[in-house]
Homo-oligomer: A and B are copies of this chain.
Amino acid sequence: MEDIVKTDGSVTAAKGFKAAGVAAGIKYTDRRDMAMIFSEAPATVAGMFTSNVVKAAPVKYDMEIVKSSPYVQAVIANSGIANAATSAQGMEVCRKTAEHAAKVLGIPENAVLIGSTGVIGEQIPMDKVTAGIDELAKQLSDTRQAAADAEAAIMTTDTVPKEIAVTFTIGGKTVTIGGMSKGSGMIHPNMCTMLAYICTDCNISKEMLDLAARTDIPDTFNMISVDGDTSTNDTYLILANGLAGNPRIESRGEDFDTFMKALHIVDEYLARNMAKDGEGATALFEVKVVGADNKDDAKKLARSVVSSSLCKAAVYGHDSNFGRFLCAMGYSGADFDPEKVSLDYESRAGSIRVFENGSKKAYSEEEAGRILSEDEVTVMIDMHSGNAAATAWGCDLSYDYVKINADYRS
């Protein structure tokens, strides 16, 4: 019951899920840019979406579907154009996409979800989407490769795919959760230019699936930041088709706890790896806060440090400029006594304390630089005040971030 096994799988790992990814010509290049996920059985669904006031058309569309549809069976996503700031025409593209996909897949129109990421303000060419859906439907498969194609098709400036699957047991039945995501830029709590699709064969009610997502996302996807920009398109969807055959989870209890543990592994893995693959990143920048007065303060502190351009630039430069971490804590909105705080750097190369009792420690700059030179770096902050903790993930700020974003569209 306790064993959760992590595998290299993705959205096709759970029973009954198929996927495909094709090049539909929406991107300027000939890279894959349209993905489809299909569940053979009707799936309950939960979703979380961007908090941005300017919501892309597919976000508004999906919010309505997640709210009103009893089940769904397909997700159609593209990575060329965000379909944001596109007014009524953008909504019409979503409706037509769902209509065509429903016809081709033989499912109800309200069982189709839509996702988009890419340039804001441009309209999606409907003819390319229609042809793309036809091709995707033909290629649908439950293989690992099909899932990899789908992941490739939602990536933008991502340099590596983010995919994971876990298996575990509920009521004697093997249950699988598989997921994929794309991130890279416009990544900031809450949510990101992030598309995350989680597919599970767990038998779970819509209410409990929703509770699971709402409970886990605040500690995972909402704790990452690449650049402080909360996107118009952030979408997290989890589909559960019940094919594992476990006793239906309809309330809190042991089975729900097991599901939550497994889901947390999937969500944290995808979130952490989106942070590590942030635009231009050379390192994962992890900030752990412990000993805070309350969870809210711990989160504010961790997120403030991980989002600071100056802290990120210091990590890029492998420079132990620890005052910047203190400074970012100071404007986080959390109240605290700076004299009580201790700061440590940690990585595979070791750990070192640089600040305590209100003053700099006499530490070796060379050793600190060596610890900060790894590709995963943790700043450990102990507030020495209470028992609350939080972790945030981000990345360093490099020349390449600027290069990528000064000239993204061309």
Nearest 5 CB-CB pairings of A with B? A120-B323, A317-B406, A54-B330, A87-B358, A313-B405
Given A309-B309, A323-B120, A355-B121, A317:B407 Cβ within 8 A: yes
Cβ of A73 within 8 Å of any chain B Cβ, yes or no, is no
Cα–Cα, bound, A408→B229 (Å)? 25
Q: Give the interface SS of chain A, mostly helix, strand, loop or mixed.
A: loop
Cα–Cα, bound, A408→B332 (Å)? 23
CB-contact partner of A338 in B53, B229, B335, under 8 A:
B53
Q: Please tell me if the beta carbons of B88 and A321 are within 8 angstroms of each other in the complex.
A: no
Cβ of A119 within 8 Å of any chain B Cβ, yes or no, is yes
Q: Please tell me if the beta carbons of A308 and B229 are within 8 angstroms of each other in the complex.
A: yes
Residues of A within 8 A of B (CB): 51-55, 82, 84-89, 119-122, 185-186, 188, 227-232, 307-310, 313-314, 316-317, 319, 321-324, 326-332, 334-336, 338-339, 355, 357-360, 397-399, 401-403, 405-410
Question: Which residues of B lie under 8 Å from residue A121 when comparing CB positions?
Answer: 322-323, 326, 355, 359-360
Q: Please tell me if the beta carbons of A232 and B54 are within 8 angstroms of each other in the complex.
A: no
Protomer copies: 2
Question: Which residues of B lie under 8 Å from residue A401 when comparing CB positions?
Answer: 309, 313, 402
Given A228-B309, A310-B227, A359:B87 Cβ within 8 A: yes
Question: Which residues of B lie under 8 Å from residue A229 when comparing CB positions?
Answer: 308-310, 324, 327-328, 331
Q: Please tell me if the beta carbons of A82 and B310 are within 8 angstroms of each other in the complex.
A: no
What is the distance, in angstroms, from A228's C-beta to the closest C-beta of chain B? 6
Interface centre among A86, A121, A122 (most CB of B within 10 A): A121
CB-contact partner of A84 in B319, B323, B328, under 8 A:
B323
What is the distance, in angstroms, from A195's C-beta to the closest C-beta of chain B? 16
Given A327-B52, A338-B53, A405:B359 Cβ within 8 A: no
Question: Which residues of B lie under 8 Å from residue A357 when comparing CB positions?
Answer: 87
Question: Which residues of B lie under 8 Å from residue A119 when comparing CB positions?
Answer: 321, 323
Question: Which residues of B lie under 8 Å from residue A228 when comparing CB positions?
Answer: 228, 307-309
Given contacts A53-B334, A87-B358, A228-B309, 19 further A-B contacts (CB under 8 A): A54-B329, A85-B358, A119-B323, A121-B326, A121-B359, A185-B310, A227-B309, A229-B308, A230-B327, A232-B330, A314-B408, A317-B406, A317-B408, A319-B409, A319-B410, A321-B408, A397-B406, A398-B402, A402-B402
Question: Which residues of B lie under 8 Å from residue A321 when comparing CB positions?
Answer: 119-120, 408-409
Cα–Cα, bound, A316→B406 (Å)? 6
What is the distance, in angstroms, from A71's C-beta to the closest C-beta of chain B? 31
Question: Which residues of B lie under 8 Å from residue A316 when comparing CB positions?
Answer: 402, 406
Cα–Cα, bound, A53→B328 (Å)? 9
What is the distance, in angstroms, from A374's C-beta to the closest C-beta of chain B? 16
What is the distance, in angstroms, from A59's C-beta to the closest C-beta of chain B? 11
A397 — nearest CB in chain B belongs to which residue? B402
Q: Please tell me if the beta carbons of B53 and A323 are within 8 angstroms of each other in the complex.
A: no
